[in-house]
Amino acid sequence: EAGVAQSPRYKIIEKRQSVAFWCNPISGHATLYWYQQILGQGPKLLIQFQNNGVVDDSQLPKDRFSAERLKGVDSTLKIQPAKLEDSAVYLCASSLDPVRPETQYFGPGTRLLVL
Amino acid sequence: RKEVEQDPGPFNVPEGATVAFNCTYSNSASQSFFWYRQDCRKEPKLLMSVYSSGNEDGRFTAQLNRASQYISLLIRDSKLSDSATYLCVVNGNNFNKFYFGSGTKLNVKP
């Protein structure tokens, strides 16, 4: 079974530039998550989708971050403009059942470095 | 106060040792608890769920102490391959929402 796919795997940009990340969840998984993991910290949920609707985006910095999930499958996360503190790994995950994280699988992540 | 707190470590132990980590949580209404493992530069992967009655999987034992609001992970007979960061995950008031701890780093040395 194919896992969660993410691209790009690495991205280096300068502050104030824009960047976008893409995620393709496991087939059939209705729930999709974007997490931010800063070095030395645990993953922090940015946004959670159920199909193409947003369930939780309370920790998404909406002045610069945006996310969408087209047709309830693939998702993109955008940062515009980027700040130095956005340097982190951005993890996408998908799950079959949102109340059972044991069904949640993570993608390999996108490592972002903002200079 | 953070939802979930862990000792960052690192815990440096020799092969064959027994090591235990704790994780405290702030929300007394939390119902679901999990341990994840994260290898260096890799994504987190579910290690085990933590049930009220405890849970054992081979060399790994997870326990829940509701009175003191912490969960624990015990690793017996440590292997070099156990070296990783162990993340504690707890759900919040909304059963749909889960919080990750910052992780405890384990180094198992020959």
DSSP readout, A4-68? -EEE-SEEEE-TT--EEEEEE--TT--EEEEEEE-TTS--EEEEEEETTEEEE-TTS-TTTEEEE
Instruction: Tell whether A23 is within 8 A of chain B (Cβ).
Output: no
Instruction: Tell whether B44 is within 8 A of chain A (Cβ).
Output: yes
Structure tokens at B93: 């008031």
Across chain A, what does the average pLDDT equal? 94
Instruction: Tell whether A25 is within 8 A of chain B (Cβ).
Output: no
Do residue A56 and residue B46 have CB atoms under 8 angstroms apart? no
Q: Please, which pLDDT band fits residue B31 given cuts at 50, 70 and 90?
A: confident
Distance from CA of B99 to the nearest CA of A (A): 7
- Inform me whether the pLDDT recorded for B26 exceeds 80: yes
In this structure, are residues A26 and A4 in contact, taking their beta carbons and an 8 Å threshold?
yes
pLDDT tens-digit series, residues B45-92: 999 999 888 899 999 999 999 999 999 999 999 999 999 999 999 987
Do residue A108 and residue B46 have CB atoms under 8 angstroms apart? no
At A85, which amino acid appears? E
pLDDT of residue B89: 93
| Cα B17 to Cα B57: distance, rounded to the nearest angstrom | 17
pLDDT tens-digit series, residues A5-28: 999 999 999 999 999 999 999 999
pLDDT of residue A1: 62
- Inform me whether the pLDDT recorded for B107 exceeds 90: yes
- Inform me whether the pLDDT recorded for A104 exceeds 80: yes
pLDDT of residue A82: 97
Identify the residue whose tokens are 């912490």: B70
Region A43-64: what's the mean pLDDT?
93
Distance from CA of B91 to the nearest CA of A (A): 9
pLDDT of residue A52: 85
Cα of first residue to Cα of last residue in chain A, in angstroms, is: 37
pLDDT of residue B104: 97
| Cα A100 to Cα A50: distance, rounded to the nearest angstrom | 14
Do residue B100 and residue A43 have CB atoms under 8 angstroms apart? yes
Structure tokens at A91: 């993890």
pLDDT of residue B95: 61
Minimal Cβ distance to B43: which of A40, A56, A91: A91
pLDDT of residue A15: 96
Identify the residue whose tokens are 């824009």: A18
- Give the percent of chain A with pLDDT over 90: 84
Q: Which residues of A are less than 8 Å from B97 in CB distance?
A: 45, 48, 56
pLDDT of residue B91: 85
- Inform me whether the pLDDT recorded for A41 exceeds 70: yes
Instruction: Tell whether A57 is within 8 A of chain B (Cβ).
Output: no
- Inform me whether the pLDDT recorded for A109 exceeds 80: yes
Q: Which residues of A are less than 8 Å from B94 in CB distance?
A: 56
pLDDT of residue B45: 94
Q: Could you tell me which chain A residue has the CA closest to the CA of B101?
A: A42
Q: Which residues of A are less than 8 Å from B4 in CB distance?
A: 42
pLDDT tens-digit series, residues B4-23: 999 999 999 999 999 999 99
